Structure 1
């Protein structure tokens, strides 16, 4: 079958345009919209949750505060994910964790990550549709932060009792 030259050039240009649209779309899909901090907050919440879930044998019994922190992280994650979707983010995109996650000092690292999440999402929200989501997410993050800090206090009390 012979291709007519009159149709070949437009067909070629259409194919090039389609390929380029697909490839550049992915490059910009990582942080679309106005608030890339939502995606970073989701990544940091995943990391904080990982820190709480991955206990060492010497960590002892799991504290109620750790369970509360994990529940609050899950609730905050859901609120932030909804806000990110509302804002047009591709929530399948996962920015890399800013720092490696050592298991030593896991509660302290979880606290650091939760503080970072708070700072990321506490920025002024210009979209009235996501302000409620942002507010609820901040409440959950702060509750998780408080519970993780309390868990650190409990660990310190137990360590003093051993001495």
Structure 2
């Protein structure tokens, strides 16, 4: 075995390279994804869906909930397609407050839909995602209009 004395500068460069390579390899696992606003909108839409999945005694409320649920489901699917969802927290559904009266549920759903609209209405840099994003935005706006009629 031949022993050679390595240049300290070379050793330092190799160590720094390994440190930076290790840091770069772990960075993608910590990033929120390509479309964090879409993921936030998905969370809001899922919470709104959860709030509407109840038996409303008033037929007007039941009909509005059913129509809004249909629009919300389509918006969720459009956003999942648009975001190219990477599976991060997509199954997480925040627990809804099951003790809310119907008026409270509809007000909370209206707030969640407004937030989801704001999340998806920003500029989109991926041309392939624009059509689905626009479809989701239309569905969110439609669900908002349905909910507004019963407020």
Task: State TM-score, norm by structure 1.
Answer: 0.66
Give the drift of 1:63.
Answer: 2.8
Q: 1:19-34 alignment to 2 at 5 Å?
A: 25-28=28-31, 31-33=32-34
**Partners of 2:33 and 2:44 in 1: how far apart?**
18
1: distance between equivalents of 2:119 and 2:92?
15
* Superposed displacement of residue 70, structure 1: 0.3
Cα distance in 2, alignment partners of residues 51 and 149 from structure 1: 15
| Distance in 1 (alpha carbons) for counterparts of 2:126 and 2:70 | 27
Give 4+ residue runs of structure 1 displaced > 4 Å after superposition: 95-98
Report how far residue 50 of structure 1 moved.
Answer: 0.5
Unmatched tracts of structure 2, length 5 or more:
1-20
Matches of 1:101 and 1:76, distance apart in 2: 19
Quote the Cα distance in structure 2 between the aligned partners of 1:80 and 1:69: 16
Root mean square deviation of aligned Cα: 2.9
| Structure 1: 5+ residue stretches without partners | 1-16, 153-163
Counterparts of residues 9-158 of structure 1 (less than 5 Å):
25-28=28-31, 31-33=32-34, 35-55=35-55, 59-61=57-59, 62-85=61-84, 89-94=85-90, 101-103=96-98, 104=100, 105-152=104-151
Task: Quote the residue 2:10 is aligned against.
Answer: none
- Contact kept, 8 Å, 2:74 with 2:139, in 1: the verdict is yes
Q: Note the alpha carbon deviations across 1:47-73, whole angstroms, 9 max, x for none.
A: 0000111346xx434532211100000
The 1-side partners of 2:93 and 2:65 are apart by: 21
